[in-house]
Structure 1
Amino acid sequence: MQYPVSASCQCGQVSYELAVPPQKVIACHCQECQKLSTSPFSVTAVVPQHTIQFTGEMKEWSRIAESGNENRAKFCPQCGTRIYHYNPQSPDIIKLKMKPVGASVDTSFAPTMHIFVSENPSWYLLPKGIISYEKGVIPST
């Protein structure tokens, strides 16, 4: 994928331009991400805040994560598309939810790891050879 890349919500009111590739791309299988995506997991591209520019009005929603951290979500108030998440204790890290415009299914933010695989539905088989963690805590080694 060539950078910068851009994306917009379903109605086009919110958009972004991302200057560099994500630091990592995580497929999260927790129950909350399954609710968000209506699938076995939700894909999140982790990017430094200074590498992305947003345009358009967004609304915010928050919840406390299993870790005890606050998880804030930005979304389009018109179409409801989830744009990104962030922890207010680490606002310099954006957890991007929108796929780039024009990116093919095979090249758009492919997961580099899977987390909370202990909550994965039995009918979804994890890809072979990919890093995975039973819970959301990623060891710092």
Structure 2
Amino acid sequence: MNKPDRLMVDVTAACACGAVVMTLRGRVLSMLVCSCLDCQRATGTGHSTVALVSAEAVTLAGATANFARPADSGAIFTRHFCPVCGTPLYGQSSRAPDVRMLPVGFFAGQNQWFDPNQLIFARSQQTWDLVADHLPRHQTYRERNDPR
């Protein structure tokens, strides 16, 4: 996706119990599927579906909780969630503090705009997890000079 063509999104959704409401209003920086082992644990599935957005594009109402851990990259990765029902809200890396990694499923029923352009961490993709065959696959992170 070229920078000038980045999708503008304006959606609001609530966690399972309604205690946290999130509004996404702004440009989507990237859309991807991730099969890293941490995403598999966090989602309980074979991959996560992620929209990367700027921190200023996200507004939260309600109390949140978080859990931080070292990532394979050496960064600290923090997952934010509803402290009442546990619904995942967003992830944040210490290497990109101004970017939020939103689980697209949070906006269920309003996420038709999601169109991933890559699969990252293909090295840990499960054979039973049938991710779209047309997506370019990267064994870990996408190479910095890869235009996708």
TM-score using structure 1 length: 0.87
CA RMSD of aligned residues (A): 1.9
> SS of the counterpart of 2:39?
helix
Match of 2:109 among 78, 102, 116: 102
> SS of the counterpart of 2:9?
coil
Aligned counterparts of 1:78 and 1:45: Cα–Cα separation in 2: 24
Aligned counterparts of 2:49 and 2:100: Cα–Cα separation in 1: 13
Question: Which has a greater percent of helix?
Answer: 2
Q: Once the two structures are superposed, what CA deviation does each residue of 1:84-128 show, in whole Å capped at 9, x if it has no partner?
A: 111234321011125325326xx1523221111111112233323
How high is the sequence identity, in percent, across the aligned residues?
A: 26
Structure 1 segments unaligned to the other structure (5+ residues): none
Deviation of the 1:2 alpha carbon: 7.7
- Letter of the 1:95 counterpart: M
8 Å Cα contact 2:8-2:28 kept in structure 1 = no
Aligned counterparts of 1:96 and 1:113: Cα–Cα separation in 2: 16
How many corresponding residue pairs? 138
Aligned partner of 2:123 in structure 1 is 118
TM-score using structure 2 length: 0.84
8 Å Cα contact 1:7-1:17 kept in structure 2 = yes
State yes or no: 1:81 paired with 2:87: yes
Structure 2 segments unaligned to the other structure (5+ residues): 1-6
